[in-house]
Amino acid sequence: MYLALLFEVLARCVPKLRIYDPSNIFPTSMDRVVRVDDVAYADAVLLDAYRIDLSIVEKIATEIRNDALLMLVNAVVGIDRCNDVVKQLVDRGFVRTWIPIDGGVATFAKRGYDDRFLQKVVDVWRKSIVEGPYPIHFNTAYALYTLSKFVLSHRKGWVVEIGTGLGFSTLWLAQVAKEFGSRVLSIDRRCDRVEYARSVAKELELDDVLEIVCSDAKTYRYEEVDRIVLTFIDGEKSEYLAYLEAVEGKLVDGATILAHNALSNAYAMKGFLERICSEPYRCIVVATDPAGLAISVRC
């Protein structure tokens, strides 16, 4: 049931979704989904750990597009076969995210960053653990990277982040923006954090696609932003609805809203969650880490 909902949300992220699905996993009745017979033309590749032919993984890893999403279902219940698939893909430069729904889903995207970037985000993550604010889990960072690649490869516009912290999640968003020629606006009310995040972005040469502002995201005017295609919210939990209302007028149809802490702070975020789980939005909440990540699309 949750897998079908995840498929529906992902299909709404893009104008038209072309899938390569040799195991017939994807519901055939879903709108805006086109099946293709060639991996090279697919926006998403779907594989089943129970029914996968390991010899085909190398072929898919070679032929899949740099901006395509690969999803392996039954990744937990079929762990005896899944481990071999994961190793092959990671060794070939794919980023892996675990999503614990139904039989388990592993998502993969081709890595567009180098070891220097990875080492720096590890440093920022460690600094955030010590000094705060507590950063998102690495599995959620990989989900952020993978989903952002999926969205920005199909929709042109701004990425807005609310809650920069020391810049851990910001760097992942900026990296994707650099890969796809987009821009990121990140907002935090702590100016000391903003200055640190700016310095790290400059060191990684991401400052040309990233603007970090010290301000209150609820009252910021967003004048430099015209079309918002993706928003990531990780600020004060009781203010999530106000954050959404501040940017809602700039969201394009099909815009993706990602929100952290949707499980751990669900009560404080009640109004926000009710909004993104009702029309004109479609939403699923997944435990990419114990805090939970809401993935919502404006229909």
Count Cα neighbours of 56 within 13 Å in the Cβ-side half-sphere.
Answer: 14
What pLDDT sits at residue 201? 98
**Per-residue pLDDT tens for 34-68?**
889 999 999 999 999 888 877 888 889 999 999 99
What mean pLDDT comes out for the span 167-193?
97
Task: Return the CATH number of 115-298, one of 3.40.50.150, 1.20.1560.10, 3.40.50.2300, 1.20.140.10.
Answer: 3.40.50.150
What pLDDT sits at residue 249? 94
**Per-residue pLDDT tens for 108-152?**
999 999 999 999 999 999 999 999 999 999 999 999 999 999 999
- The C-alpha atoms of residue 263 and residue 48 are separated, in whole angstroms, by 28
CATH 3.40.50.150 domain extents, the chain: 2-110, 115-298
What pLDDT sits at residue 28? 62
**Per-residue pLDDT tens for 264-274?**
999 999 999 99
User: For residue 227, is pLDDT > 80?
Assistant: yes
What pLDDT sits at residue 264? 97
What pLDDT sits at residue 55? 81
The answer to whether the CB of 245 falls within 8 A of the CB of 219 is no
DSSP reduced 3-state for 155: coil
Task: Return the CATH number of 2-110, one of 3.30.413.10, 3.30.9.10, 2.60.120.620, 3.40.50.150.
Answer: 3.40.50.150
What mean pLDDT comes out for the span 21-32?
76
User: For residue 27, is pLDDT > 80?
Assistant: no
Lookup result for tokens 């760097």: 171
pTM of the model: 0.95
What mean pLDDT comes out for the span 25-37?
78
- Say which residues have a Cβ less than 8 Å from residue 292's Cβ, sequence separation at least 6: 260, 261, 262, 263, 264, 266, 285, 286
187 beta partners: 162, 213
What pLDDT sits at residue 197? 98
